[in-house]
Chain A
Amino acid sequence: MTDTALQTVLSIKDMTVFRGAAKILDRVNLSLGQGETLALVGESGAGKSTIATAIMRLLDNAKITGSAELAGKGDLLALTERQMVKLRGRRLSMIFQDAGAALNPSYTVGRQLSTTLKRIQGLSRVDAWKKAIDLFTSVGINDPEGRMSAFPHQLSGGMQQRVMVAIALAGNPDLLLADEPTSALDVTIQAQIVRLILTLTRERGASCIFVLHDLALASQACDRIAVLYAGQVVESGTAHDVLECHRHPYTKQLKSCVLEIGTKDLTAPEGTVPSHAQMPSGCRFSTRCPRALPRCVDEAPPLVPARETAPGPLDHHIACWNPE
């Protein structure tokens, strides 16, 4: 049965990414409802950014199988490059981690935004310029008109990221992909930017995928969470499902890493992510899992509903032979 409450905006089925011999993503399954925010969490190298890049079809030197259906547009992975170019910036957009590096250093930020507006909305130069100033205001840039003639390197990190958000929202996208947008920023600014992104996407009814490594941030900001380990989705569901009702051993370990003010308990998961040459063919977490069974090493557990009563794509799912 389909989920009646929410329209699914993005549905990724069995996405697998190969780079050479290495399988960077292994049968990733994700769903996102309209207006929702999904957090992709995991360690560095887990494949979170790869998913976002693959959805945008900006992943070079890689072989991708599976499907990524965007509501109303079909399977993104099956479209031609020409069709994708039409979608990027309009239906789909992306914010990058290092905003300073993601802005062309040779053009003013005003020019970069207004040319985007010109192209996407077909505005004249003057109209695009005005609209750009409005957008700058809505992302919280003070002195928007003055800032239009600034070069990226003249702005602070937080300001640069706001510009990125403005550019990303210029085309009113249905889906916004935010690849660790706050990792390069000061802690105090991080919260501002996340709040900004959430507010603006909610205003426009857009959906958002946040790639994060910070579980705490994910819990505050997002409706849904998907936990990734070494290219495999190990647990996904609503924030409540994953944080309070989690059943996968890795999720438990991740949660215990989150420092709480007041406690003196600092625990970290044992071991490290295996290299691609040493990756087990089954569950990739099996090398570090305290609950690992012999079966886990050879057979990869499928992502199945955690409760048989709630089997919808947007419900709680886990991939484990021996869940808690």
Chain B
Amino acid sequence: MLLKALGKIAQTFVVLFFVSVASFGLLKLAPGDPIQIMLGSEYSQASYDSLKAELGLDQPFLVQYADWAVQFVQGDWGTSYVARAEIFTYAFKEALPVTLTLASFSLLFAILVGVPLGVLSAIKKDTIFDAGSAVLALTGTAFPSFLLGILLIWFFAVKLQLFPVMGYVSPWENFRLGIYHMILPGLTLSTYFIAMITRLTRATLIEVLDQPYIAAARARGEPNWRVVWVHGVRNIAMPLVTILGLQLGVLLQGTVLTETVFNLPGVGQMLTSAVLGREYLVVQAGVMMTATLFIGVNLLVDLSYPFLDPRLRSRK
């Protein structure tokens, strides 16, 4: 089992390598010649060549890549002119925590609401409740999140004046105020996942409840609530985590959009303004950071499977 885990980690590094090459290549593909930009409108070939050599841009691709990779790993990601800060600080220390906070908060909320809803739908299969939750789930998965965000702002912030329209306060610094600012964005982001988790929990639980060990538990006299919540729900953990792992991309996408709607200074905003401002270094750093995060979380999810499903642990 340990060998398998190591194998997976090794695979991850290879994937990261490919991603880093692509990210580096991204910069190279970007329009505009940085040397030209630096030299201005009139320059001689000689000064062009010397500047090029100075910046190390005349080296073969792999060497340039290696240089960049070493720098990147050490945390030297370059500087952003717009943000007037080191990209590393900007991206990793400031933008990323915001995104992570929003994403985890929303996901947690979605699980806490979605799983019980799904369980209830499964128990009350084919009733009005089930039909109703199915409709809500369908709408929730298809409804564009940025529109939902705007609607929520319009209704709760503007009309009812219950919540702030936009802005971010870190819950780690000021818990109450932070949560207050995160409720609308969190609700926006989690809606898709509540819908998805409800549907998934319902479908998986129905399959689980059909299994012989559920009938056997009932035959032992287990009360119905235990049969469902202790025996049944325990066995949906694995499929749920698998699918959630696959949906991490959607979570990230949603976070990016929600940040824009609510003006939260996260990775989404960073990337968008970087693209508009032609700050390719920032885009590159953002892409690389996001990919690493994504791959890392996927790896963790992969490694968690044996803990969730005892059948995957080593056989005696």
Contacts and interface: CB of A to CB of B under 8 A. Distances in A.
Assess A/B contact in the complex (Cβ within 8 A): yes
Interface of A: 56, 58, 81, 85-90, 93-94, 96, 98, 101-107, 116, 119-120, 150-151, 153-154, 164, 167-168, 171
B159 interface: no
8 contacts: A58-B215, A81-B224, A88-B219, A89-B219, A98-B212, A104-B231, A106-B235, A164-B216
A105 B220 contact: no
Given A88-B218, A153-B310, A105 B213 contact: yes
A102 B213 contact: yes
What is the interface of chain B mostly: helix, strand, loop, or mixed? helix
What is the interface of chain A mostly: helix, strand, loop, or mixed? mixed
A101 B218 contact: no
Nearest to B315: A154
Nearest to A56: B219
Contact of B316 (A102, A120, A150): A150
Given A103-B213, A153-B311, 19 more contacts: A58-B218, A85-B223, A88-B221, A90-B221, A98-B212, A101-B211, A102-B213, A102-B216, A104-B235, A105-B213, A105-B235, A106-B235, A106-B309, A116-B220, A150-B316, A151-B313, A154-B315, A164-B216, A168-B220
Contacts of A104: 213, 217, 231, 234-235
Contacts of B213: 101-105
A153 B213 CA distance: 13
10 nearest A-B pairs in the assembled complex, by CB-CB distance: A89-B221, A88-B221, A102-B216, A89-B220, A101-B212, A94-B219, A151-B310, A154-B316, A104-B213, A102-B212
B172 to A, nearest CB: 35
B221 A105 contact: no
A119 B216 contact: no
Interface of B: 211-213, 215-224, 231, 234-235, 237, 309-311, 313, 315-316
Contacts of B309: 105-106
Residue among A104, A107, A116, A119 having the largest count of chain B Cβ atoms under 10 Å: A104
Given A104-B234, A106-B234, A107-B234, A171 B221 contact: yes
Contacts of B218: 58, 88
Contacts of A103: 213, 216
A119 B212 contact: no
Nearest to A116: B220
Contact of A93 (B220, B237, B313, B315): B220
A90 B219 CA distance: 10
